[in-house]
Amino acid sequence: MSKLYRCRTLKYWYGVSEYVATLTIAIITLAAGVGIFAYSYYIIDSYYSRLVAVAEGTRGRGGDIAILASLIDSSGKIVVIGSTGSKPVMLYAIHIN
């Protein structure tokens, strides 16, 4: 081990072993990955549960429901484009001005 610098309270301050440093970095990286995975799972699960709640709410109105599209707009609201009724709907084109 090499001496890095002198400290007033200790006679010498030694560096950390490369094995300990590698293990520490691996644990930190693994914890960050698990955190990102858990957060993304939470977001996707909440989005899906809201989508199911909207579908269940419109199903009680009678007839069939077909969800044509779903998205999250810039303000964070979930937008669901659906069709209810007794006949199926085919989406041919979308025009945006």
Find, among 87, 83, 90, 88, the residue nearest to 58 by Cα: 83
Looking at the predicted structure, is the pLDDT value of residue 47 above 90? no
Find, among 55, 87, 86, 49, the residue nearest to 69 by Cα: 55
> Where in the chain are the domains?
3-62
pTM value surpassing 0.75: no
Q: Tell me what pLDDT residue 88 has.
A: 66
Pick from 18-22, 43-47, 75-79: least confident: 75-79
